[in-house]
């Protein structure tokens, strides 16, 4: 038997970003349960920290016409109606309470004139809806949850990586979850976490792509853990390419430029100075877009009778428009377009101070990393892999996956966002469904009889984790990772077609063989090369899922755009694409029909069209 | 563009030593890019912490040419590349391996500070009203990304190793954010005086200088806290007043 240490808890949460922290807090608050929180980084460093714009909640502090129904309809429209409507309803109804709860735990949001929480405009949201703190809302949120969470008796395992879930019955057979297997990054010692319930809150998959706003942690761990345990993954074809990432200098390519820049009036122009977003307005939004630049400005400055500027259309659309400009040779010198906030000096007297106050970290980021002063110059921006709408298929109310005892919340879970996520709906997603996952995981764990991990599963997981050391002198894992990132970027990126994706599947098969042969020298102590070896199977798993789902969806919808089927199709409007691991270890795909929304929700959607 | 040499601490414990790595430089690169490139090219086991690569998470703290800085925000074109660039782990914390140190002490210290305790809500719906001006003051402190560079540079920790008696600038900023929070009702002054060792700080302002978030740590957080402690415990008038009216 391999040498390992055992930790026993009732609930284990994997991932300590917004969803994981909120889930752990909720599970601990239910009383009498032991809760463990396992995270790859130090506490408070998770990717949530990078969220900038804000969290969407229909509190109606700025525009009293807002309510959960409008938010629900906006979310469904943004997701092109393949969302899990149960989740969209719960999210719209519960988000305001989750935001107020953060304030009760010490978060300090920007204020309205009468002292309430201020809300800002964002793409796809009909009214100003995002509670925010300048452009560092994610930091405020994670720090608030962290500082509250450390007093709740949660056992935190910092810098620990989970490589396998432990379950009853054969591995991958979909049996009840009884724990997780992993190692501590500092020493490389194995750990077995026994638990009645496991909550996945591991975030996304951005590191499968070359140009991404995501940190190293986003290697699809939770997706792969769930898949390998026999759970369904859903909607994996829907990857969000955020329209505005930095493009220059090369070393910062992909780093996010918040949508808040456009929310504050930033305009997108091509090299000819043309505000090209006015040239292409999608049908779904025809009644909601400003007629001219003047009306757009009135909208961002709070005129309730004005419509939004086209820069504030949904991210999928804006990203494709930018892509089109660049491909047509109308881009900026380094292959992006210009995002200009400095122009507002024509409109307001103290524009530079206003920009620094509203967008401090953007000012800082461009000044220090690109040598650009955004109060006087335009930024160069282009699409960057940002978010995956797809993930673990969960029950909308409890967040339990198709594997008993396995829960998922936040980006790793599928459903809320459908084919495209609205900006600001992620932070509220983390809170609403983090809380629900924690609550239901606790309830589940309480009802379970004791179970113990099967020695054979632990042994197999340990063997697999150590395999790269047996192949010292094998291929460098970083090379395989870079090859994968190039492949996904080129062939399953923002514009897709059948031919390239078929080639991508062949490429992935070849990379799977290479990944099985990577080797690493050195020992288990804080060894990033070893960690990269272990990330590869996860990245390959999610890449294959994305590619297979994207091949099957022969239409364009939300984040998924196919140049060989550029329109939405009725044939694909009524189902989600699901993959599951077959008994033979291969990936099986099926189409799951979407249950029609409740009558009252249908009416809400119609009324808000 | 030219190649540049990076002199990086490698190994652990007694055997830790500088090792030179040469790598190719391209426009706009930061120190963290160079470290990543070296990892991918020639030193796959070279350990460093990082996450966001945009100065927002505070993971990649190190000492570059002897100065505490974030590797992701230090552009190579601000450094003299004609000589090797030294990259070392933070010195105020126990070394683990290569560029990684054990910063867990910071998390323990924070836990000992009494948590946020809001006053009763202002409105019947359970919400509060706050003015932007009151929020602004505290938002400065809440910008902190917990990179611990201020802890690293502080001589009380770095040179005098008072980790057991002194909480360090990061936790004074944290305490200031709580004490000056418009809604907070808790009192942390005794803790600051006795357990957190606020008196050890002799306001050399090194922490303020290295803060990548440009928080005015000394002037805006530490000095006001020192004043509050003095008012509470050492002000002669207050003490006289207490003789006649013992404190609650």
> Which of B13, B5, B4 shows the shortest CA–CA distance to B98?
B13
Q: Are B34 and B108 part of one and the same domain?
A: no
Assigned domain for B247 exists: no
Task: Output phi, psi for A586, to 5 deg.
Answer: -90, 165
List the structure tokens of A194: 């026994």
The two tokens of residue B238 are 């207050």
Q: Do B111 and A365 touch (CB under 8 A)?
A: no
Burial class (CB in 10 A: 0-12, 13-18, 19+), A162: buried
In order of A163, A208, A310, A469, B127, the CA distances from A519 in angstroms are 17, 20, 50, 6, 56
Looking at the domain assignment, is residue A498 inside a domain?
yes
CA distances from B195 to A208, B92, B166, B167, B231 (A): 47, 19, 7, 8, 18
- Indicate the length of chain A as a whole number: 609
Q: Among B52, B59, B97, whose Cβ lies nearest the Cβ of A526? A: B97
Chain B residue with the nearest C-alpha to that of A157: B104
Give the structural domain span for B89. Answer: 3-101
Task: Answer yes or no: is pLDDT of B247 > 70.
Answer: no
Q: Is A9 a catalytic residue?
A: no
Where residue B171 sits, what CATH number does that domain have?
1.10.1060.10
Beta strands A155-157; A35-38: pairing state: parallel
Asked if B78 and B8 sit in the same domain, the reply is yes
Predicted confidence at residue A22, as pLDDT, reads 98
Is the Cα torsion angle A22, A28, A31, A34 positive or negative in sign?
A: positive
A576 beta partners: A592
Question: How far apart are alpha carbons A428 and A434 in whole angstroms?
Answer: 9
Q: Chain A: nearest CA to B246, how far in angstroms?
A: 32
Q: What is the DSSP string of B118-140?
A: BPPPSSTTS-----HHHHHHHHH
Whole-angstrom Cα distance, residue A521 to residue A275? 53
The CA dihedral of A139, B101, A481, B76, to the nearest 10 degrees, is 80
Judgement on whether residues A362 and A476 belong to the same structural domain of the protein: no
Residues B121 and B234 in one domain: yes
Residue numbers of B between 166 and 205 with CB closer than 8 Å to A: 178, 181-184
User: Is there a domain that residue B205 lies in?
Assistant: yes
A472-485: pLDDT as tens digits = 889 999 999 999 99
Q: Is the same domain home to B199 and B222?
A: yes
Contact residues, A window 102-121, toward B, CB-based 8 Å cutoff: 103-106, 108-111, 114-117
pLDDT tens digits, one per residue of A490-502: 999 999 999 999 9
Helix (H, G, I), strand (E, B) or coil at A358: helix
Give the sign of the dihedral formed by CA A50, CA A55, CA A56, CA A62: negative
What is the rounded average pLDDT for all residues in chain B? 95
- Same domain, yes or no, for A286 and A380? yes
| Residue A189 near chain B (CB below 8 Å) | no
Does B244 reside within a domain?
no
How many Å apart are CA A389 and CA A413, to the nearest integer? 8
Q: Which ipTM score applies to this complex?
A: 0.95
Residues A254 and A369 in one domain: yes
Q: B150 Cβ partners below 8 Å, 6+ apart?
A: B168, B169, B170, B173, B206, B207, B208, B210, B211, B217
Structural domain includes residue B130: yes
d(CA B96, CA B75) in angstroms, rounded, equals: 26
Which residues, listed in sequence order, are joined to residue B20 by a DSSP beta bridge? B7
Q: Is B69 on the interface with A (CB under 8 A)?
A: no
Q: In 3-state terms, what secondary structure has residue A408? A: strand
Domain finish residue from B79, B101, B123: B101
For tokens 């759970």, name the residue: A231
CA distance B51 to B60: 8
Whether B89 contacts chain A with CB within 8 A: no
CB B140 within 8 Å of CB B220: yes
Residue A193 three-state SS = strand
Question: Residue A515: which residues within 8 A CB-CB, separation 6 or more?
Answer: A477, A480, A536, A537, A540
- Which helix (H) or strand (E) segment is A224 a member of? helix A221-228
The verdict on B128 and B108 lying in the same domain is yes
pLDDT less than 50: residues of chain A: none
CB A71 within 8 A of CB A49: no
Measured CA to CA in angstroms, residue B67 lies from A126, A216, B57, B89 at distances of 48, 26, 19, 11
DSSP letters along A153-191, please? Answer: TPEEETTEEEEEEEESSSTTS-PPEEEEEEEETTT--EE
Statement: residue B248 has pLDDT above 60: no
Judging contacts by C-beta atoms under 8 Å, the chain A residues touching residue B27 are 249-250
Chain A contact present for B42, CB below 8 A: no
CATH of the domain at A255: 3.90.700.10
Residues B116 and B92 in one domain: no
Q: What's the CA gap between B192 and B199, in Å, rounded? A: 9
Of A368, A251, A216, the closest CA to residue B73 belongs to: A368
Q: Which two tokens stand for residue B124?
A: 């019947």
Among A41, A361, A365, beta carbon nearest to B51: A41
Q: Of B56, B84, B101, which residue is a domain's last?
A: B101
In a domain, A323, yes or no: yes
Residues 137-156 of A with CB under 8 A from B: 138-140, 143, 147-148, 150-151
Are B136 and B166 in the same domain?
yes
First to last CA, chain A: 61
Nearest chain A Cα distance for residue B225, angstroms: 19
User: Under an 8 A CB cutoff, do B48 and A45 touch?
Assistant: no
Q: Which two tokens stand for residue B7?
A: 């002199």
Last residue of a domain, one of B36, B69, B101: B101
Same domain membership, residue A366 and residue A284: yes
Contact between A200 and A409 under an 8 Å Cβ cutoff? The reply is yes
H or E stretch covering B70 = strand B67-70
Q: Which residues contact A130 (CB under 8 A, 6 or more apart)?
A: A53, A54, A55, A56, A119, A120, A121, A122, A137, A263, A423, A424
Burial of A499 (0-12, 13-18, 19+ CB in 10 A): exposed
Q: B155 CA to chain A: closest CA distance, Å? A: 24
- Could you tell me if residue A220 is left (phi over 0), alpha (psi between -120 and 50 degrees) or otherwise beta? left
Q: Six-digit token pair at A128? A: 């100003």
Q: Decide: helix, strand or coil at residue A588.
A: strand
Nearest-angstrom CA–CA distance, B206 and B221: 14
Query: Which residues on adjacent β-strands are paired with residue A593?
Result: A575
Within a domain: A179: no
Q: What is the pLDDT of residues B217-241, one digit of tens each?
A: 999 999 999 999 999 998 888 777 7
Q: Number of H helices and number of E strands within chain B?
A: 10, 7
Residue B248 domain flag: no
Q: What is the C-alpha to C-alpha distance for residues A263 and B173, in angstroms, rounded to an integer? A: 31
Q: In chain A, whose CA is at the least distance from the CA of B185?
A: A106
Joined together, the tokens standing for residue A366 give 């461009």
Out of B45, B54, B178, the one facing A529 most closely (by C-beta) is B45
Hey, of B53, B71, B181, which one would you mutate to test binding to chain A, going by the most A CBs within 10 A of its CB?
Answer: B53
Residues B141 and B108 in one domain: yes
| Rg of chain B in Å (alpha carbons) | 22
CB A538 within 8 A of CB A219: yes
Judged by CB atoms closer than 8 Å, whether chains meet at A148 and B130 is answered as no
Each residue's pLDDT tens digit, B4-38: 999 999 999 889 999 999 999 999 999 999 999 99
pLDDT at A547: 98
**C-alpha pair distances (Å), B45 with each of A65, A221, B38, B40:** 56, 21, 10, 9
Q: Looking at the complex, report in whole angstroms how far the Cα of residue B5 sits from the nearest Cα belonging to chain A.
A: 18
- Cα gap A43→B145, rounded to integer Å: 11
CB pairs under 8 A between A and B: 168
Q: Among A114, A150, A364, whose Cβ lies nearest the Cβ of B55?
A: A364
> Looking at the DSSP assignment, which residues form a beta bridge with residue A246?
A381
pLDDT tens per residue across span B139-161: 999 999 999 999 999 999 999 99
> Among A597, A596, A601, A565, which residue's Cα sits nearest to residue A237?
A565
- CATH code at position B19: 3.10.20.30
Q: Give mean pLDDT, residues B66-80.
A: 96
Give which of A526, A532, A533, A536 to mutate to test B binding, by max B Cβ within 10 Å: A526
Q: Are B53 and A255 in contact (CB under 8 A)?
A: yes
Check if the beta carbon of residue A534 is closer than 8 Å to that of residue A542: no
Structure token pair of residue B206: 């090194």
- Would residue B246 count as lying in a domain? no
pLDDT at B246: 58
Same domain assignment for residues A376 and A251:
yes
Considering the domain architecture, whether residues B70 and B147 belong to the same structural domain is answered as no
What's the total number of domains in chain A?
Answer: 2
B128 occurs within a structural domain: yes
Asked whether residue A80 is domain-assigned, the answer is no
Q: Are residues B123 and B235 in the same domain?
A: yes
Q: Give CA angle at A513 (A509, A517), nearest 5°.
A: 160
- B108 and B209 in a single domain? The answer is yes
Instruction: Say if A43 falls within a structural domain.
Output: no
Distance from CA of A104 to the nearest CA of B (A): 7
> For testing the chain B interface, which of A528, A534, A536 should be mutated: the one with the most B CBs within 10 Å?
A528
Cβ-contact A200, A412 below 8 angstroms: yes
Catalytic residue among A207, A262, A317, A553: A262
What's the domain range around A279? 244-385
Does residue A252 sit within a domain?
yes
Note whether residue A256 is domain-resident.
yes
Distance, in angstroms, between B205 CA and closest chain A CA? 22
CB contact under 8 A, A115 and B138: no
Tokens of A341: 């906030």
Check A98, A185, A242, A557 and give the catalytic one.
A242
Q: How close A100 gets to chain B, by Cα (Å)?
A: 7
Work out whether the CA dihedral A483, A484, A487, A493 comes out positive or negative.
negative
The position carrying tokens 């809001």 is: B118
Annotated active-site residue A65? The verdict is no
Residues A451-471: b if buried by 16+ CB within 10 A, e if exposed:
bebbeebbeebbeebebbbee
Verify that B149 and B227 share a domain, yes or no.
yes
Q: Is B132 an interface residue toward A (CB < 8 Å)?
A: yes
**B245 assigned to some structural domain:** no
Q: Within this chain, do residues A364 and A467 fall inside the same structural domain, yes or no?
A: no
CB pair distance less than 8 Å for A251 and B33:
yes
Counting the structural domains of chain B, the total is 2
Taking CB atoms and an 8 Å limit, are A370 and B55 in contact across chains?
no
Per the domain annotation, does A81 fall within a domain?
Answer: no
């Amino acid at each position: 038997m391999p040498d390992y240490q055992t930790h026993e808890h009732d609930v284990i949460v994997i991932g300590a970003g917004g969803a994981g922290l909120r889930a752990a807090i909720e599970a601990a608050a239910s009383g009498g349960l032991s809760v463990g929180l396992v995270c790859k980084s130090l506490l408070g460093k998770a990717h949530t920290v990078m969220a900038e714009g804000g969290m969407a909640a229909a509190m109606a502090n700025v525009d009293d016409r807002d309510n959960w129904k409008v938010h629900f309809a906006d979310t469904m429209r943004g997701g092109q109606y393949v969302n899990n409507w149960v989740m969209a309803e719960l999210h719209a109804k519960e988000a305001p309470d989750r935001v107020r709860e953060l304030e009760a735990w010490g978060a300090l949001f920007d204020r309205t004139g009468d002292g309430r929480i201020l809300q800002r405009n964002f793409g796809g949201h009909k009214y100003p809806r995002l509670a925010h703190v300048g452009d560092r809302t994610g930091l405020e949120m994670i720090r608030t949850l962290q500082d509250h969470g450390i007093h709740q008796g949660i056992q935190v395992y910092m810098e620990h990586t989970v490589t396998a879930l432990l379950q009853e019955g054969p591995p991958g057979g979909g049996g009840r979850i009884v724990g997780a297997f992993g190692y501590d990054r500092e020493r490389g010692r194995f750990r077995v976490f026994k638990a009645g319930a496991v909550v996945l809150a591991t975030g996304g998959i951005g590191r499968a792509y070359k140009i991404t706003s995501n940190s190293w942690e986003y290697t699809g761990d939770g997706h792969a853990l769930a898949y390998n345990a026999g759970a369904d993954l859903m909607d994996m074809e829907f990857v969000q390419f955020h329209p505005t990432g930095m493009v220059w200098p090369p070393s910062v390519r992909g780093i996010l430029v918040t949508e808040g820049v456009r929310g504050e009036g930033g305009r997108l122009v091509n090299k000819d100075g043309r505000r090209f977003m006015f040239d292409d307005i999608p049908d779904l939004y025809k009644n909601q877009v400003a007629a001219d630049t003047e009306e757009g400005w009135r909208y961002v400055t709070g005129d309730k009778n004005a419509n939004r500027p086209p820069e504030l259309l949904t991210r999928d659309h804006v990203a494709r428009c930018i892509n089109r400009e660049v491909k047509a040779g109308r881009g900026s010198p380094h292959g992006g377009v210009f995002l200009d906030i400095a122009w507002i000096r024509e409109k307001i007297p103290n524009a530079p101070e206003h920009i620094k106050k509203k967008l401090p970290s953007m000012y800082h980021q461009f000044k220090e990393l690109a040598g650009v002063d955004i109060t006087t110059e335009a930024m160069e921006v282009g699409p960057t892999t940002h978010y995956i709408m797809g993930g673990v298929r969960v029950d909308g109310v409890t967040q339990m996956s198709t594997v008993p005892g396995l829960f998922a919340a936040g980006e790793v879970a599928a459903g809320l966002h459908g084919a495209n996520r609205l900006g600001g709906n992620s932070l509220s997603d983390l809170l609403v469904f983090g809380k629900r996952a924690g609550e239901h995981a606790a309830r589940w764990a309480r009802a379970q009889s004791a179970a113990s991990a099967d020695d054979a599963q632990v042994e197999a997981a340990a063997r697999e984790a150590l395999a790269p050391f047996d192949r010292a002198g094998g291929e460098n894992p970083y090379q395989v990772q870079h090859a994968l990132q190039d492949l996904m970027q080129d062939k399953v990126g923002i514009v897709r077609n059948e031919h390239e994706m078929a080639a991508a599947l062949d490429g992935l098969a070849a990379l799977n063989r290479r990944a099985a042969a990577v080797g690493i020298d050195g020992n288990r102590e804080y060894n990033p090369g070893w960690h990269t070896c272990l990330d590869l199977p996860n990245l390959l798993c999610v890449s294959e899922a994305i590619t297979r789902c994207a091949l099957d969806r022969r239409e364009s919808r939300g984040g998924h755009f196919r140049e060989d089927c550029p329109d939405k199709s009725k044939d694909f409007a009524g189902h989600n694409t699901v993959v599951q691991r077959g008994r033979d270890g291969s990936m099986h795909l099926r189409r799951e029909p979407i249950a029609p929304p409740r009558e009252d929700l249908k009416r809400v959607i119609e009324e808000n069209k | 563009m030219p190649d540049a040499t990076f002199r990086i601490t490698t190994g652990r414990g007694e055997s830790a030593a500088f090792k030179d790595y040469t790598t190719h430089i391209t426009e706009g690169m930061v120190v963290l890019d160079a470290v990543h490139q070296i990892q991918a090219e020639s030193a796959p086991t070279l350990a460093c912490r990082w996450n966001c690569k945009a100065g927002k998470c505070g993971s990649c703290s190190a000492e570059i040419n002897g100065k505490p800085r974030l590797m992701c925000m230090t552009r190579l074109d601000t450094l003299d590349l004609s000589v090797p660039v030294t990259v070392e782990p933070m010195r105020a914390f126990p070394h683990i391996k290569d560029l990684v140190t054990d910063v867990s002490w910071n998390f323990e210290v924070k836990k000992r500070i009494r948590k946020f305790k809001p006053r009763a809500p202002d409105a019947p719906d359970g919400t509060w009203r706050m003015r932007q001006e009151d929020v602004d003051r505290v938002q400065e402190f809440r910008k902190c990304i917990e990179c611990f560079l201020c802890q690293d540079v502080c001589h009380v920790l770095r040179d005098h190793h008072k980790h057991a008696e002194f909480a360090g600038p990061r936790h004074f900023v944290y305490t200031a954010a709580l004490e000056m929070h418009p809604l907070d009702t808790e009192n942390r002054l005794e803790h600051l005086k006795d357990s957190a060792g606020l008196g050890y700080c002799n306001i050399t302002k090194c922490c303020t200088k290295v803060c990548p978030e440009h928080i005015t740590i000394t002037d805006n957080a530490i000095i006001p806290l020192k004043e509050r402690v003095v008012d509470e415990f050492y002000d002669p008038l207050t003490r006289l007043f207490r003789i006649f009216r013992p404190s609650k």
